[in-house]
Structure 1
Amino acid sequence: MWGLLMTQGIRDFEPTRRDWPARFEALRTPDGLPLAPGLRAELLRECRRLWLVMEMIAEGEAEQKAVAEAEDGPAARLAQLRGIGLTFATVLGNEVFFRDFRNRRAGAQPVAERGIRRDQGIAKSGNPRGRGGPRSRWLTWGI
């Protein structure tokens, strides 16, 4: 859509604004000419498609928020923290905090050699980003 507008020299149209229909009707090229009918129809379809997708995303987010508020799981508690969004809290709740650990060694696998019981380390099952330490990728990426 922006590419089509740029070919006509229009740079200030924002289709995500609520007043886009009125601004769309007032669109003119820098020469003051109206847009070609085919181009106008194509841009109108693109704007309506964009708003349809934005409404569908808002519906999905509202559904997800209602589900998270209805249950008192780890996702709902994580979403209350500053800087953690609902989607990321849901992913963490389902992939990382799917079970409770009594202490820091509860996630490790014990192994017994010659009567000595040692912790083997964290199992390789599940999400690999969830079992990393402070140098794991999801912390260094800033997610």
Structure 2
Amino acid sequence: MLTTQAEPLTLIRLKALAHDLRYEIVCLLAQRELCVCELEVLLEGGQSKVSYHLNILKEAGIVGVEQRGKNSFYRLERQTLYTLGGELLKDVLHRFDALELTHQDNSMCYDKSRDANSNPLYPQQRP
């Protein structure tokens, strides 16, 4: 079993994206910046619900906010997502490289060099 763990910030960001409404918010913000009232309409949700999920995304560094008068405009922090993708890829490749890929004699893998009758995946043929 591998014991390496992802960076805490990576896990925080993944957890933030793991909620369906927050993921939908990110997809909307990928198109353009939006104010809370626009997100409420697009998501068909109340202000407190949308603001709650926006705050989680903001704390994870996935979205940024700019106050303009009475409105808060949210934008996607693209560099954060690029970095997150890079961290995931690096972690997966590190784990993959750490594995020993070996073929065991008692595995159920098909081996073309063996007789098909000796392979447990194929039933014995009767004459």
Q: Same fold (TM over 0.5)?
A: no
Name the TM-score class by shorter chain: under 0.3
Choose 1 or 2 for highest CA Rg: 1
Q: TM-score, normalised by structure 1?
A: 0.24
Which structure is higher in RCO with an 8 Å CA cutoff and minimum separation 6? 2
